[in-house]
Amino acid sequence: MTTHTRLPRTPATLVPADTGDWRDDAACRVHPEPDLWHPVSTRAPDRARTEEAKRVCLTRCAVREQCLQYALDERLDEGVWGGLSEQERRRLHRRRVQVYDRRFVSAVDYILGHRLEEFRELEGRGLVAAEIAKELGTNATTVNAVRERLAAQAPEEVAA
């Protein structure tokens, strides 16, 4: 038997007013059909149910971003979380994408925007792409893409 990690199925009237937990505000928690977010079968999930769950997440959930980030961080592999199906979340894991400010940011943009100083420090130590990738928790392709982006920005900075 599969154990689901879906939010508790507590009726809305029994939910504490404000516990400070983002899960209290999840649309799935008070939806009349809480099983909508679980696949009927792990081999062939019902596409219509999955699409309905995603629609509820995307249109009615106030904490969709937190839910999706939680699912990505915990590598949850069943059901709909944050408006994405299992397959969609797997694709994000492969691309090492972070959820940030209601949009998806590529690993390259994330490093450039949030870890550039660390990236430059690792490069300054003379590490090869694979070593930098290991330190940043990404892959060598991403490191090389960051290098290319920085190289492309350098001529623009000189012209300015």
pLDDT in tens, 30-87: 888 877 787 665 555 577 888 888 898 888 888 888 888 888 878 887 889 888 888 8
Across 19-29, average pLDDT = 80
Q: Phi, psi at residue 97, to the nearest 5°?
A: -95, 140
pLDDT digits (tens, 9 = 90+) for 85-122: 888 888 776 665 555 544 566 778 888 888 899 999 99
Is the pTM higher than 0.95? no
Query: Average pLDDT for residues 142-156, to the nearest whole number?
Result: 86
* Tokens 């809305």, located at residue: 12
Residue extents of the structural domains in the chain: 17-104, 109-159
20-26's contacts with Cβ under 8 Å and 24+ in sequence apart are 22/63, 22/66, 22/67, 23/63, 23/67, 25/61, 25/62, 25/63, 26/61, 26/63, 26/67
